[in-house]
Structure 1
Amino acid sequence: MLTVDDVDAAARQHGAVLGMELVMDLGWVAFLADDAGHQLGLMTADASAPVNPDVSVFVDDVDAAHRAAVQAGAEIVHPLSDEEWGVRRFFYRDSSGRVVNVGTHR
């Protein structure tokens, strides 16, 4: 996930440079993708979480990843949530202070 000042401008620029198409745009967050499955997320400010993540990682079993994060003593920054745009996710803060968004598509 890349934090940007203007989602529309960033989507146009990164889409042109990377050859990606806009596949989702909620105004505050947008995703570009190509036919090979590569994606780039762009966001101004996360509308449903207290902070913007530094990176997003999508996994097969987000519930198992959440349990592992809790067992490892990681600080959960955003609880395990089903978001309206079809993603189940949570955020944790790593030992360097970075916020990691872990999710899966529902």
Structure 2
Amino acid sequence: MAVRRVVPNIQSEAVEESRDFYGLLGFEEVMNHGWIMTMASPSHPAAQASFMTSDKTAPVTPDMSVEVDDVDAAYEVMRANGAEIVYPLQDEDWGVRRFFVRDPNGRVVNVLGHRL
């Protein structure tokens, strides 16, 4: 299993203001579903930050997202090692397969892969 990118998820009620602010640093909006917006560096597209009011389908807002090349394998590794699964593995309407797991610091990590 390989990590493709790591994205901090910032819970915010100021999504538009965040777009303007981080735009001043050279970030551009690359995704916006209304409840989550992602900004990325045009020169280094994996350098990203997401801003979300709340998660659309999950019971909690994750602190970070980790995209992996095999989300099913990541899920099995976490389960086999007794990690706390906060949101079970499932396919979402917007094209990702994901689950949430709590890290040792109490942070919620959204582990995902894009469906082809």
**Normalising by structure 2, what TM-score?**
0.83
Superposed CA RMSD: 1.2
Q: Is the 8 A contact 1:22 1:32 kept in 2?
A: yes
Instruction: Give distance in 2, aligned partners of 1:89 and 1:7.
Output: 23
Number of residue equivalences: 105
1:99 aligns to 2:108 (yes or no): yes
Partner of 1:85: 94
Q: Structure 2: which 5+ residue stretches go unaligned?
A: 1-8
Alignment match of 1:11 (pick from 4, 19, 30): 19
Between 69-78 and 79-88, the greater mean CA deviation after superposition: 79-88
Alignment match of 1:76 (pick from 80, 85, 106): 85
Q: Is the 8 A contact 1:7 1:27 kept in 2?
A: no
**Normalising by structure 1, what TM-score?**
0.90
Higher relative contact order, chain-length normalized (CA < 8 Å, sep 6+): 2
Once the two structures are TM-superposed, the CA of residue 14 in structure 1 deviates from its matched residue by: 1.4
Runs of 4+ aligned residues of structure 1 deviating over 3 Å after TM superposition are none
Partner of 1:30: 37
Alignment match of 1:40 (pick from 38, 41, 49): 49
Instruction: Give distance in 2, aligned partners of 1:86 and 1:12.
Output: 27
More helix by share: 1
